[in-house]
Structure 1
Amino acid sequence: MDRLFGIFGIIFILFLSFLMSNNKKRISVKTITSAFLLQFLLGVFILKVPLGIKIFQAIGGFIQKILDFAKIGSDFVFGPLTRNPEKLTELFGQNSHIFALQLMGAMIFMMVLVNILYYYGIMQRVVAFLGKLMNKLLNVSGAEALSNLASSFVGQVAAQSLIKPYLPNLTKSEILSSMTGSLACISGGVMAIYVGMGIPAQYLLAASIMAAPGALVISKIVYPETDEPKTMNDIKISRRRTHVNVIDSIAMGAQEGMRVTINVVAVLIALVALIAMIDWALVKFGLFLHNNLHLSQMFMGFDLTNLSMKMIVGKIFAIFAYLMGVPFNESATIGALLGEKFILNETIAYIDLVSIKNIISEKSFIISTFALCGFANLGSIAILIGGVGEMAPKQRKNLSRLGIKALICGTFASYVSACIAGILL
C-alpha cells in the first residue's frame, strides 16, 4: 500500500506542475515521458538491480575513502579536534564535534580533486558525453542537457559556467530547466560533507543523478519550449586550461574549497540564529493567544505553548512526505525537514535528519535522503541569480523572474526521485 502512495505522489506533483504551466498546449509529451522514464530506470538500476547496487555501493565506498584521506589532512592541522571525536564526546557530551572543521577538510580536498580532473580535461569529457546523450534521448537542447548533467557533479554556478558562451542566447525555457537542474542536484564537494555526517553516499549520488532528468520533467511542464534553441542539435565544450599547471590547479582548488567552507559556515550561523529568533517570537505569540485570548493549548493541531517554525512547516509539507511513502505517524517529522530545506537549506535539514536517524524507520530515512538532496532553497536563488547574472548580464531579468519557479521545480524534481525511491523500496 505504501508503494501506491509513491505513485499518487508522482501524479500529484505532475498535476501541480501542470497547473503552473505557462503554455499547457506546447508541453512536449515525448520529452516529458522520455525524461521521466530515464529518471525511473536510473532509480531501478541503482536501487533494485544487483549490478547497479554493487556499482553505487562501490562508488559510495570510494567517496568514503576520499573522506578518509581528507581526514588525514585535517588531523595533521587540527590534531585532536578532528582525530579523536570520541574523546570530545566523552569530555563534552553528545554533538560536541566541531562541524566547521569536519566540513573544511572534506570540502577543500574534494575541490582540489575536481580541479585536477578539470585541468586534465577528464571532467569536461565525461560531462560533454553525458550531455550529448541526454540531448539525443530527451530531445532537449545541448546547453540545457549539459548544464543539468554537470549539476550532478559540480556546484550550481560552476555547472552554468560550462555553458557560459551560450548563456546570453538561452531561451526562457532553457534558463528555467538549467536553473532547475542546478537547484535539484548537489555537487561532489557538498556530497562529501553529507557522507561525512552519516548520509549513505550511494543514496546521495543516486538522488543527485536522478534529479538531472527529473529537473527536465518538471521544468518542461512548467515552461515548455516555444522558441528555437541555438544548441538544439549539438554543443561544443571548451577544454581550454584555466590554470598554469597542475600545482596551480591544486592551489586554486584549495582556495576555492576554503571560500566555500567559510560561506557555508557563515550561512549556517546566520540561519540557525534566525531560526532561534523566529521560534522565540512564535512561542511568545502562541502564549499570548493562549493566555490573553484564552484559546486552548492545542489549537488546530498546534501546541500554542510550544510553537516553532519546524512545527508549522511540518504540517504544510507533511502531505508531500506522506505521498512519497513515509508512514503517516512520521510524515509530520519528515515534513518539518522538507520545510527546513525549502526555507533555509539542505545542510540544516540533513543535520536534523541524522539526529533522528535511530528514531524513524529506514524507509523514511532513505526517502528523506532523496527528497532533501539538492540546493533548492531561498538562499540558493540569490546565489544562482548573482553568479549566472555576472556571466550573462542581459539574462539577469529573466533569471530573477524565473527564480521562484526554478525553486519550486527543483524541489518537485527531488520529490519525484523520493517518490520513485518509495515505490522501489
Structure 2
Amino acid sequence: MKYIIAIIGLLVVFGLAFVASNNRRNIKIKPIILMVIIQVVLASLLLNTKFGLVLIKGFADVFSKILEYAGSGVSFVFGGIANKGEMPFFLNVLLPIVFISVLIGIFQYLKILPLIMKAIGLLLSKVNGMGKLESYNAVASAMVGQSEVFITVKKQLGKLPANRLYTLCASAMSTVSMSIVGAYMTMIEPKYVVTALVINLFGGFIISSIINPYTVDASEDLLIIQEEEKQSFFEMLGEYIIDGFKVAIIVGAMLIGFVALMAAINNIFDLIFGISFQEILGYIFAPVAFIMGIPFSEAVQAGGIMATKLVTNEFVAMMDLTKIQAHFSTRTLGIISVFLVSFANFSSIGIISGAVKGLNEKQGNTVARFGLKLLYGATLVSVLTAVIVSIVL
C-alpha cells in the first residue's frame, strides 16, 4: 500500500510542478527519471544499510564533537546564566553556529571547500542536464548558506537570464547551510538531517527541470567563481565569528517574533472559533501529508507542523515537533523530519531577494517578482523528499 501512495505522491508533485511550468515542451524526462532513481537509491543506502548507518553515525559524531567544542566557548562566556538542569535554546542550539561558521571559514581560507564544491558540482552537472554554474551553486548553497552563495558567483549574476537565476535561487531555498545543520541535529534525528541534505540536492534540480526547463548553450556554460578578497588568517577568523554570531542573533530574533505571533494567533482563533490556527492549517495540509505516506490518523497533526514551517520557519516547526513527537509513529516522524530540513518558507523570499539585490539591484527585483513561484517550487522539493523517504522507511 505504501508504494501505491508513494506513486500517487510522485504523480501529484510532478503534476503540480507541470501546472506551474513556463516551458512544458522543453521538459527533459530522462534526467528527471534518473535523478528520482538516484534519490531512492541514496535514501535506501543512508537509512537501510549498515554502510549508511556508519556514515551517518560518523557525520553525527563529528557534529556532536563540534557542538561539544562550541559548548566550551559558550559556557565560558555565559556559564551560570542557565539554571541547573535547564537547556536554553539560544545557548545550546543557536550559539554553536558561531564555531561552525569559524570552521567553514577555515576550510574556505585553505581552499578546501571551493575545491569540494567545484568537484561535486561538476559531477552533478553530468547527471542533471543543467549547467555547471547551477550545479556548483546547489552544492555551494548547502556549504556556505543561501545568502553567502551569491557572493561567490557575483561576476556572473548580472549576466544571467531570469530562468537561470530562478534555478540558482531555487537551490538556495531548497537546501540548508552546514552552519545550521548542527542546530537541526539537536532537535531531530541526525540520520534524517543527513538524508534530507543529500536528497534535496537532487530534488531541487528535478522540480526546477519541470517548472523552469531550459537548455544551456555550451558557450554560456562558464563557471566564474568570485575569489574572496585576500585577508590574513586572523582577519578571516574575526569575520566568520561575527557572521556566525549575526546568524544566531537573527534566527533567535525571528524565533521570538514568530513563536509569539503564532501563540497570539492560536489564542485568538481558539477564543473565536474554538480551534487553533495551527489546527486549521493542519486540516488544510492533511491531504499533502497523506500523499507523503503519513496515515490519516496522524495526517492532521503532521499537516499542522508542515504548515507551521511554511508560514514561520523550520526552527519553529522542529520545536513544535519535539513537543508532540511521542504521538507519531517512527515512520511518520521520519517523513515529517526530512520535510522540515529546508529553507522553504515565506521569510526566505525576502532573505534571498535581499541578498541578490545587495549585489545587483536589477536582478534582486527579478527575484522578488518570482518569489512566490520560488517558494512553491521549494515546497514541492520538500514534499518530493518526504515521498522518496516514505518509500524506503
| Fold similarity call, TM over 0.5 | yes
Q: Which stretch shifts more, 259-268 or 43-52?
A: 43-52
Matched to 1:4, the amino acid is I
Residue pairs, 1:30-109, within 5 angstroms? 30-81=30-81, 87-89=84-86, 97-109=87-99
Question: Which residue pairs with 2:267 in the alignment?
Answer: 280
Are residue 204 (structure 1) and residue 193 (structure 2) matched? yes
Q: Deviations over 1:284-332 (max 9, x none)?
A: 432xxxxxxxxxxxxxxxxxx2x22211111111111111111221111
The residue aligned with 1:136 is 126
**Contact residue 270 and residue 277 of structure 2 kept, 8 A:** no
2:242 corresponds to 1:223: no
CA shift, 1:67, in A, is 0.8
What code does the residue aligned with 1:235 have? L
1:183 matched to 2:173: yes
Larger radius of gyration: 1
For the residues of structure 2 that align with 1:217 and 1:388, how far apart are their CA atoms?
23
> What amino acid sits opposite 1:78 in the alignment?
F
Amino acid at match of 1:369: S
What TM-score, normalized to structure 1? 0.88
Aligned with residue 225 of structure 2, among 237, 249, 266: 237
Of 294, 314, 325, the match for 1:346: 314
Please state how far the C-alpha of 1:175 moved relative to its aligned partner. Answer: 1.7
- Partner deviation per Cα, 1:93-152 (whole Å, 9 max, x = no partner): xxxx32112234311011011011101111100001111111122220111111111222
Structure 1 contact 389–396 (Cα < 8 Å) conserved: yes
CA contact (8 A) 2:170 2:377 kept: yes
* Residue matched to 1:367: 335
Structure 1 residues 229, 267: CA separation in 2 closer, same or farther (over 3 Å shift)? Answer: farther
Question: Does the aligned pair in 2 maintain the 1:371–1:415 contact within 8 Å?
Answer: yes
Aligned residue type for 2:5: F
Any residues of structure 2 matched to 1:392-407 within 5 Å, and which? 392-407=360-375
CA 1:43–1:24: 2 relative to 1, 3 Å: same
Q: Percent identity?
A: 29
Would you say 1:156 and 2:146 are equivalent positions? yes
Asked if 1 retains the 8 angstrom alpha-carbon contact of 2:143 and 2:178, the reply is yes
CA offset at residue 205 of structure 1? Answer: 1.9
TM-score by length of 2: 0.95
Contact 1:146 1:163 in 2 (8 A): no
Q: In 2 relative to 1, CA 328–123 (structure 1 residues): closer, same or farther, beyond 3 Å?
A: same
Q: Which residue of 2 aligns with 1:294?
A: none
Cα distance, 1:343–1:230 mapped onto 2, change above 3 Å: farther
Partners of 2:18 and 2:308 in 1: how far apart?
25
Contact 2:94 2:252 in 1 (8 A): no
Deviation string for 1:239-295 (max 9, x for gaps)?
x34352222222111111111111111111111222123223323432xxxxxxxxx
Name the CA distance, whole Å, in 1 between partners of 2:99 and 2:153. Answer: 25
User: What count of residue pairs does the alignment treat as equivalent?
Assistant: 393
Distance 1:7 1:57 in 2: 30
After superposition, the Cα gap between the structure-2 partners of 1:410 and 1:185, relative to the gap in structure 1 and judged at 3 Å, is: same
2:127 is the counterpart of 1:173: no
Structure 1 range deviating more: 309-318 or 43-52:
43-52
Query: Which structure 1 residue ranges, 5 or more long, are not aligned?
Result: 90-96, 287-304
Structure 1 residues 214 and 231, CA, compared in 2 at 3 Å: closer, same or farther?
farther
Show structure 2 runs of 5+ residues with no match.
none
Q: Deviation of residue 72 (structure 1)?
A: 1.5
- The answer to whether the Cα contact below 8 Å between 2:130 and 2:216 also exists between their aligned partners in 1 is no
Q: CA deviation at 1:367?
A: 0.8
CA RMSD of aligned residues (A): 1.8
Residue 354 of structure 1 and its aligned partner are, at CA, apart by 1.3
Among candidates 324, 335, 349, match of residue 356 of structure 1: 324
Task: Tell me the equivalent position of 2:102.
Answer: 112
The residue aligned with 1:250 is 237
Q: Shift of the alpha carbon at 1:358?
A: 2.2
